[in-house]
Amino acid sequence: MIAQCLIGLQGDNMPTISVEQSLLRKFVEGRGRKHNVEDLAFRLPLMGTDIDICDENVLDIEIFPDRPDLLSPETLFHGMMPFLHDAPPNPRLLVNPGTISMKVSAELSEIRPVILGAVVRGLDIDEEIIKRLMEHQEKLHFALGRGRKRASIGVHDLATLAPPFRVEAVGREHSFTPLAMDNEMTIDEILAEHPKGVDYAHLLKDMQKVPIILDSNDAVLSFPPIINGDHTTVTTNTRDIFIDVTGLDIRACESALMLICLQLSVLGGKIESVRVNTCEGKEWSLDGSPIVHTVKRTLVEGILGNSFTDDQIEDAIRRMGGIYNGDTSGNLSISMPRWRFDILHPIDLVEEVAIGHGYDDLAHDVPKAPLTAIPRTDGHLRRRIREALQGLGLIQIQSLTLSNDDDQFNTVRWKADGAITRMTNPITTEHTILRQNILPGLLRLLAANRHHDLPQGVYELGTVVINHSNTDRFAFLVAENSGGFASLRGRIQALMRDLGCNDWSLEPIEGGPWLAGRAASIMVEGMKIGECGEIDPYVSESFELTVPMSGAQIDVSSLNSAIQDPVH
């Protein structure tokens, strides 16, 4: 039996927002509904979120990466009103026609081709609103912008600007005063010395020209995706805001722009379009109308195992913030907000119906295909490994196969074992590669549970990916105040005994996560099957652990080759 050890697995690094209950109460009761904290804690996870804290004072909530439209208190409120309070859905963003224009140079087509803008007027801003706006901006940079590469957002006090605007490509000798600086700096100086320039200089690497946004007085509003001009800072005196979004992906940029506008509209702002003459010579302005999607009824009912009436589908889609337009020859027409970046395929609409209807009210079914099992060649060995480790009092855990270079190699001082399999479009900075080692996941787990009493002992038998092929390894880790290498050797001896292996030995090694002089290779009949040792305190501190630890990591295929399976 697999136990999610102690608190459970941590480190998914999903975007998290913290909302004051008084703020949500103000929003909800301002719409004529009653704010019920207990109901919020019970029903909000059904939307696809994970609540950390929900009491009378604060709501701490993890937002799954496929719902970037819930990353601010205001957009969360907009999404939860139909779901929790039966409010009418509002998939349309009201955009009034504006008079401001922005012209984009054709040179930007090879540098940063997507340049969008909008204006929000009539705001009453305080320090808390500015803080929430900035936090929302940074979360969207992470969730939609891929670290500002795909989309980056700039917000400016419109009163300090002189429209119309233009976007030009300039050389690296161009200078202006960036945000939080007193003097002008050249582009090269900003990229080398300004904190934001240092963080994001890689996005403009090898580019001879870079984008800047200017007003009619030639004042620099923004140097996307790096930093704004200092004079455009939003303050408590700001009433009208100009928003620019630049990037490489039109859909990500539109969604980011609309979500910032949605946040400000919940706060009472009135949205105005900006006429953008794109680098391709086309005209663009913000369209707040919903997108009409279609999905076959047979697909919805076949996957979910239910036959739905039109009323049931209408109720489900309404709870998800959309509008059901009806069934035409078996095709369901559904209008969803244009900012719902996660709706990419008809199967996403099936999920919307499932969440809106409720998973607990779907039909039960059994597999129709024959499912005759074929035993694994290493099945007996895996069972014996688990029984041996559990016999040592260790708790089995199961962690993600996704990891990152720091955890897998840099921090634990192991070199890559063959080619590394990398994610093309990682969702988080924590999950960029497929793991080659099990032990770092155990270190992360103990770090998340360091407030629990000692001793703590865990193990995992799981898949690793080496040279782009799956293989199996297992590792165990024990945190205890006493014992050291002698206790570790005893555990290795008991493990080898239970696996029926008599000809084994330990040979001293250097390197890896182990403490010098307290580490060894595990040898069976002259073949290295793994490593063991005490964890170096330097490595422990990197995982925010300060307790003595020892453990081992063993390759299952090498072990399988070295010992004989007594069952066969």
Segments of 388-468 assigned E as strands: 395-396, 402-403, 433-434, 456-466
Convert the pLDDT of each residue in 440-464 to its tens digit: 999 999 988 888 888 899 999 999 9
Statement to judge: residues 535 and 490 lie in one domain: yes
Nearest in space to 341 (alpha carbons), one of 261, 428, 250, 255 = 255
- For residue 336, tell me if it sits in a domain: yes
* Pairing mode of beta strands 275-277, 101-104: parallel
Statement to judge: residues 462 and 532 lie in one domain: yes
Average pLDDT estimate for 202-210: 91
Convert the pLDDT of each residue in 368-396 to its tens digit: 777 777 888 888 889 999 999 999 999 99
What is d(CA 504, CA 29) in angstroms, rounded to the nearest whole number? 70
Q: Is the dihedral of CA 419, 421, 426, 429 positive or negative?
A: negative
Statement to judge: residues 313 and 268 lie in one domain: no
- pLDDT at residue 6 greater than cutoff 60: no
Check which CATH number belongs to the domain holding 457 and give it: 3.30.930.10
- For residue 76, tell me if it sits in a domain: yes
Average pLDDT estimate for 151-156: 95
User: In terms of residue numbers, what domain contains 329?
Assistant: 291-361
Among the candidates 29, 52, 85, a domain finishes at 85
pTM for the whole thing? 0.70
What is d(CA 375, CA 568) in angstroms, rounded to the nearest whole number? 13
> 509 or 429: which carries more pLDDT confidence?
509
What is d(CA 21, CA 25) in angstroms, rounded to the nearest whole number? 6
Statement to judge: residues 452 and 524 lie in one domain: yes
Q: Given this model, what pLDDT does residue 5 score?
A: 31
- pLDDT at residue 127 greater than cutoff 60: yes
pLDDT-derived band at 566 (thresholds 50, 70, 90) equals low
3 state SS of 167? strand
Q: Given this model, what pLDDT does residue 387 score?
A: 93
- For residue 4, tell me if it sits in a domain: no
- pLDDT at residue 4 greater than cutoff 50: no
Convert the pLDDT of each residue in 311-367 to its tens digit: 999 999 999 999 999 999 999 999 999 999 889 899 999 999 999 998 887 877 777
Segments of 129-173 assigned E as strands: 151-157, 165-171
- For residue 133, tell me if it sits in a domain: yes
Left (φ > 0), alpha (ψ -120 to 50) or beta: where does 238 sit?
beta
Average pLDDT estimate for 154-166: 95
pLDDT-derived band at 1 (thresholds 50, 70, 90) equals very low
Statement to judge: residues 268 and 165 lie in one domain: yes
E strand or H helix at 329, and its extent? none
Statement to judge: residues 111 and 252 lie in one domain: yes
Q: Given this model, what pLDDT does residue 92 score?
A: 95
pLDDT-derived band at 502 (thresholds 50, 70, 90) equals confident
Average pLDDT estimate for 482-502: 89
Q: Given this model, what pLDDT does residue 452 score?
A: 83
Q: Is 232 exposed, middle or buried (0-12, 13-18, 19+ CB in 10 A)?
A: buried
Among the candidates 284, 304, 323, a domain finishes at 284
* Window from 50-59, 78-87, 228-237, 349-358 with minimum mean pLDDT: 50-59
Q: Given this model, what pLDDT does residue 500 score?
A: 86
Q: pLDDT over 90 for what percent of the chain?
A: 68
Q: List CB contacts of 419: < 8 A, sequence separation 6 or more.
A: 466, 467, 468
Q: Given this model, what pLDDT does residue 165 score?
A: 96
Convert the pLDDT of each residue in 14-70 to its tens digit: 678 888 999 989 999 888 888 888 888 888 887 778 888 888 888 888 888 788 999
433: number of Cβ within 10 Å:
20
* Window from 290-299, 352-361, 471-480 with minimum mean pLDDT: 352-361
- For residue 370, tell me if it sits in a domain: no
pLDDT-derived band at 8 (thresholds 50, 70, 90) equals very low
Report the domain count for the chain. 4
Q: Given this model, what pLDDT does residue 168 score?
A: 94
Q: Quick one: how many helices (H) and strands (E) in the chain? A: 16, 29
Check which CATH number belongs to the domain holding 328 and give it: 3.30.56.10
Statement to judge: residues 343 and 431 lie in one domain: no
**Which tokens in the block code for residue 93?**
């963003």
**Which tokens in the block code for residue 290?**
């919903």
- For residue 320, tell me if it sits in a domain: yes
pLDDT-derived band at 568 (thresholds 50, 70, 90) equals low
- Looking at every residue in the chain, the average pLDDT score rounds to 89
